[in-house]
């Protein structure tokens, strides 16, 4: 029995299948952990959703920003962008079933030794706060108010966490931290604008969320995706592992076998702009 963890697939279904063949993934014995952004700019988002859903309890998935945006597009709040290549999902006969499955996924998944999320865990959260924040939004996504949440989640504020935040301000912060965060200020305040790799940053005020000096230490390794510009990341001091290596941009899809910390990669089958 093994735990395999994969970074952003973004519709790169064929590359995922080749990776799983490479490690001889067996659903009856193994668990596949997916760090969000199942869909978007790759060619086979529909196939990816159907495959992961069919895995049932052999898959553990968290929501990414593109997955949430798909829900917003499905509700008609935004037109489907051709570059996102999600139109086949929206016209599929099982679209409603897939959307119900998608919104039932959490923002945080947990194993004895690691936690997994899409973008990261706010540096001002301890693990109990992170768990509680995930539970709040996950419950709302599965409630009758889920459409209200999806419609109103788009904003870059608030950028600072306060336990007294309420309503949509509270939910926005949680969603942004879990699905969009990259850089923070030294205080832990989120910066929602910069997408550069850290090596190209010339703003001394900003740093990767996992390098904030006052970041609260968690008892487990944090595994995340989202930040393709990092091209993978293993920061032992911060106890984090980033797995997004830009397959959808013509690079590679990366999978980690947790038990022996071995990495496997599948080169993108086609460069995509």
The CATH number of the domain holding residue 242 is 3.60.21.10
Inside any domain, residue 245: yes
Say how many domains are in the chain: 1
Backbone angles phi, psi at 206, to 5 degrees: -105, 150
Residue 272: is its pLDDT beyond 60? no
Asked if residue 150 is part of any domain, the answer here is yes
Confirm whether 51 is domain-assigned. yes
Per-residue model confidence (pLDDT) at position 202 = 75
Backbone angles phi, psi at 63, to 5 degrees: -85, 140
pLDDT of residue 245 exceeding 60, the answer is yes
- d(CA 259, CA 29) in angstroms, rounded, equals 14
Q: Which domain holds residue 194?
A: 3-267
Q: How confident is the model at residue 273 (pLDDT cuts 50, 70, 90)?
A: very low
How far, in Å, CA of 224 to CA of 232, rounded? 10
Contact 221, 239 (CB under 8 A): yes
pLDDT tens readout for residues 77-87:
998 888 889 99
pTM of the model: 0.95
Residue 1 burial (CB count, 10 A): 8
Q: Is residue 272 part of a domain?
A: no
Low-confidence winner among 40-49, 136-145, 229-238, 254-263 (lowest mean pLDDT): 229-238
Cα–Cα distances in Å, from 156 out to 132, 152, 160, 166, 218?
Answer: 21, 11, 11, 16, 25
- For residue 228, being part of any structural domain is answered with yes
User: For a pLDDT cut of 70, what percent of the chain falls above it?
Assistant: 99
Nearest to 191 by CA among 123, 106, 129: 123
Question: Using 50, 70 and 90 to split pLDDT, how confident is the model at 106?
Answer: very high
Which residue shows structure tokens 């099982």? 94
Residue 138 placed within a domain:
yes
Token pair of 257 as six digits: 């076998």
For the chain, what is the mean pLDDT? Answer: 95
């Amino acid at each position: 029995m093994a735990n395999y963890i994969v970074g952003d697939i973004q519709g790169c279904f064929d590359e995922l299948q080749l990776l799983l063949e490479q490690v001889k993934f067996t659903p009856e014995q193994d668990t596949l952990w997916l760090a969000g952004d199942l869909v978007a700019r790759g060619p086979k988002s529909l196939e990816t959703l159907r495959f992961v859903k069919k895995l049932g309890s052999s898959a553990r998935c968290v929501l990414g920003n593109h997955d949430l945006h798909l829900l917003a597009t499905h509700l008609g709040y935004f037109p489907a962008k051709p570059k996102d290549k999600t139109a086949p999902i929206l016209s599929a006969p099982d679209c409603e079933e897939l959307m119900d499955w998608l919104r039932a996924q959490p923002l945080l998944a947990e194993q004895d030794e690691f936690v997994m999320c899409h973008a990261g865990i706010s540096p001002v959260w301890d693990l109990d706060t992170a768990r509680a924040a995930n539970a709040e939004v996950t419950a709302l996504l599965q409630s009758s108010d889920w459409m209200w949440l999806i419609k109103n989640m788009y904003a870059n504020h608030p950028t600072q966490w306060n336990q007294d935040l309420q309503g949509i301000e509270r939910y926005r912060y949680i969603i942004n931290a879990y699905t969009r965060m990259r850089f923070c200020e030294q205080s832990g305040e989120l910066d929602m604008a910069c997408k550069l790799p850290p090596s190209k940053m010339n703003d001394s005020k900003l740093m990767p969320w996992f390098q904030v000096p006052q970041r609260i230490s968690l008892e487990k390794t944090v595994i995340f995706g989202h930040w393709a510009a990092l091209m993978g990341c293993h920061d032992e001091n911060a106890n984090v592992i980033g797995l997004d290596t830009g397959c959808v941009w013509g690079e590679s899809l990366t999978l980690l076998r947790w038990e022996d910390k071995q990495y496997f990669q599948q080169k993108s089958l086609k460069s995509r702009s």
